[in-house]
Amino acid sequence: MLASWLLATMAFAATPPAAPAPQNPAPTAPADEDLYQVGKALFDLYAPPEIKAQYEFVSREQWNGLLSGIQTALATGSLTDLAGYEQQVRDTLDALRAIPGTEDIADWLALQLDEIEAAKEAAQPPAPPPKPIPGEKPPPVIAAPAVPFYDLWMRRLHGRPAPARAAELMPGLKAAFAAEGLPAPLAWLAEVESGLNPKARSPAGARGLYQFMPATAHELGLSTVLPDDRTDPMKSAHASAQMLRRLHTRFGSWPLALAAYNAGEGRVSRLLTAKRGKTYADIATDLPTETRLYVPKVLATLTLREGIAPEALPAPARIATPTK
């Protein structure tokens, strides 16, 4: 999820949300022209009269401002900043669900709302410890988790069904990861990245099951012209596995490899050096909010889909080198 912010905000509630989104000092980011035009056309053509009476299509300025604000909250803002967008995103998602032809956009937006809700929960102050009872032994001190917010995502994802496309896609994706020497369960990364939607597309240009930006796709040997290899499930799965393999080789752990997959390996490397850290937990609080939510969500997804704990994920296996 190299750019896991709002894909498309097609409509705002005509009345302002009860809790306004926080103000961020970021410059307005340009919106994706195609997404904006497609969204407006879908709204004009297919939105039922009752939806048009309740909602109005966003202006270009509103569109850019919301995308920029959420992007900033994910990249440099706090959990509270991100949580402040909950009502706007929820209202927008409700409107999208009523407009034919926006299913892919609505599915992506639902992923963003999931992160926003998790940020809201994570931002809550911890409950105070119980008062000691005279004469009783105090409870043991619990060490900080190796992956902060893992337990939060385990609670949120518990009982959530796999995406409808999982039965069709996951056998092939897992086979592709295994062929690259990676633990097959890591292929579930696609659920977190795209909701297992091969056509998923972010306004920054990331596409496909594993959400590759054009530059990253080119580095991995994927074409981004028609046909766009990023939307090919098997090609994108092999590329994702190759990238994760390289990141694990560099950083030596899956949490750090996932953090680098999301935030960039340069950022992770610099933070480890600056903090004199060796583990993900050593740098977690200094990572972007998006990454702090992303890494534990991926690991919790693997646990719930495959029954494998994060610490039990094996390192990449050695793969045979083709003989010439």
Same-domain check for residues 194 and 301: yes
Q: Does residue 251 belong to any structural domain of this protein?
A: yes
Is-contact 35 7, C-beta < 8 A? yes
Residues 270 and 306 placed together within one structural domain of the fold: yes
Q: What is the CATH number of the domain that holds 223?
A: 1.10.530.10
Residues 108 and 194 in one domain: no
Instruction: Say if residue 174 is in the same domain as residue 293.
Output: yes
- pLDDT for 110-144, tens place per residue? 888 999 999 999 998 876 766 777 777 765 544 55
* Whether the model pTM is above 0.85: no
Would you state the pLDDT for residue 272? 97
Residue 79 located in a structural domain: yes
Say yes or no: 215 and 116 in one domain: no
Q: Flag whether 274 is in a domain.
A: yes
Q: Quick one: which H or E segment has residue 43?
A: helix 33-46
155, 214: one domain:
yes
Q: Are residues 33 and 118 in the same domain?
A: yes
Residues 109, 114, 120: CA angle, nearest 5 degrees: 125
Average pLDDT along the chain? 82
pLDDT of residue 320: 66
Alpha-carbon 296 to chain mean position: 11
Both 18 and 95 in a single domain?
A: yes
Residue numbers of the domain that contains 167: 150-312
Helix (H, G, I), strand (E, B) or coil at 252: coil
Looking at the structure, do residues 117 and 176 belong to the same domain, yes or no? no
In this prediction, residue 68 carries a pLDDT of: 80
Tokens of 260: 């680098």
The model's pLDDT over 231-271, given as tens digits with 9 standing for 90+, comes to 999 999 999 999 999 999 999 999 999 999 999 999 999 99
CA count, 13 A, side-chain hemisphere, 284: 18
Residues found in the chain? 324
Question: How confident is the model at residue 7, as a pLDDT?
Answer: 35
| Number of domains within the chain | 2
Question: Which candidate, 252, 255, 242, places its Cα nearest to that of 292?
Answer: 255
* Predicted confidence pLDDT, tens digits, the chain (324 residues): 333 333 333 443 333 333 333 333 333 333 455 666 766 777 787 777 877 777 677 677 776 777 788 888 889 889 999 999 998 888 878 877 877 777 767 777 788 899 999 999 999 887 676 677 777 776 554 455 689 999 999 999 999 999 999 999 999 999 999 999 999 999 999 999 999 999 888 777 889 999 999 999 999 999 998 889 999 999 999 999 999 999 999 999 999 999 999 999 999 999 999 999 999 999 999 999 999 999 999 999 999 999 999 999 999 998 765 444
Summarize pLDDT for 190-204 with one digit per residue, the tens: 999 999 999 888 777
Assigned domain for 264 exists: yes
